[in-house]
Amino acid sequence: KSGPRELWRVLRNACGILGEEEKTFVPEMEWPQMVKEARVWVAIYAVLIASAIYFGSWLPLMLFGLLPVMGGTWLYTFFGLTQHAGLPENVLDHRKNCRTVYMNPVFRFLYWNMNYHVEHHMFPMVPFHALPELHATIKDDCPPPYSGTAAAYREIIPALLKQAKDPHHFVVRQMPVAAAQ
């Protein structure tokens, strides 16, 4: 979600105009918060642009805009695909349509512990920093976590190739015996 389309959405939201799609999944009572948040982002970018003009340098835009986007976008996509790719959609049991993938501490920090994605969906109000502890508490009732990103992709890539030919194909997560009872 970047580029001109996202910029246009933020500018519209800052003016109090919400898209039809947004109205379908954001509760009406949260609309003012969306407008406020969009205005904050517009203000941040306005300060960055003004700083670049004032200092006669691209550096503010590079340090706080382009470089984080260039570094973060591929990381977000690379890790983000491990969350749901190849799994069934429209399933109420989040253990069947999400993955927990173990990552090193640096990646966990950069990804805000969203690698504990089953836990995040099962208990969305748990803050990101508490997800590892939640995982330790409920892991016996969840499918086994993946040992790393490579292990997740070993399952994802063949599943996506099969889904290209058969859109109804998906990976079936094995539920632990204790959870099935």
Q: Is residue 66 part of a domain?
A: no
Q: Is residue 94 part of a domain?
A: yes
Asked whether residue 83 falls in the same domain as residue 47, the answer is: no
Q: What is the pLDDT of residue 71?
A: 75
Q: What is the pLDDT of residue 180?
A: 53
pTM higher than 0.85: no
Q: Is the dihedral of CA 148, 91, 112, 175 positive or negative?
A: negative
Asked whether residue 51 falls in the same domain as residue 80, the answer is: no
Asked whether residue 80 falls in the same domain as residue 48, the answer is: no
Asked whether residue 132 falls in the same domain as residue 157, the answer is: yes
Q: Is residue 132 part of a domain?
A: yes
Asked whether residue 30 falls in the same domain as residue 114, the answer is: no
Structure tokens that stand for 168 in this block: 């109804």
Q: Is residue 65 part of a domain?
A: no
Asked whether residue 1 falls in the same domain as residue 41, the answer is: yes
Distance CA(160)–CA(55), nearest Å, equals: 48
Using the 8-state DSSP alphabet, how is residue 175 labeled?
A: P
* 144 contacts 151 by C-beta, under 8 angstroms: no
**Helices 149-165 and 67-84, interaxial angle, to 10°?**
70
Q: What's the count of helices (H) and strands (E) in the chain, helices before strands?
A: 11, 0
Asked whether residue 117 falls in the same domain as residue 49, the answer is: no
Give the SS3 label for residue 158.
helix
Q: Is residue 104 part of a domain?
A: yes
Distance CA(91)–CA(171), nearest Å, equals: 13
Number of other CB atoms surrounding residue 176 within 10 Å: 14
| Residue 21 Cα distances to 34, 80, 92, 124, 135, angstroms | 14, 22, 22, 22, 33
Asked whether residue 48 falls in the same domain as residue 92, the answer is: no
Distance CA(110)–CA(119), nearest Å, equals: 18
Asked whether residue 49 falls in the same domain as residue 106, the answer is: no
Q: Is residue 62 part of a domain?
A: no
Q: Is residue 64 part of a domain?
A: no
Asked whether residue 81 falls in the same domain as residue 42, the answer is: no
Q: Which residues of the chain have pLDDT under 70?
A: 1-2, 178-181
97: containing domain: 73-176
Asked whether residue 34 falls in the same domain as residue 5, the answer is: yes
Q: How many domains does the chain have?
A: 2
Asked whether residue 18 falls in the same domain as residue 93, the answer is: no
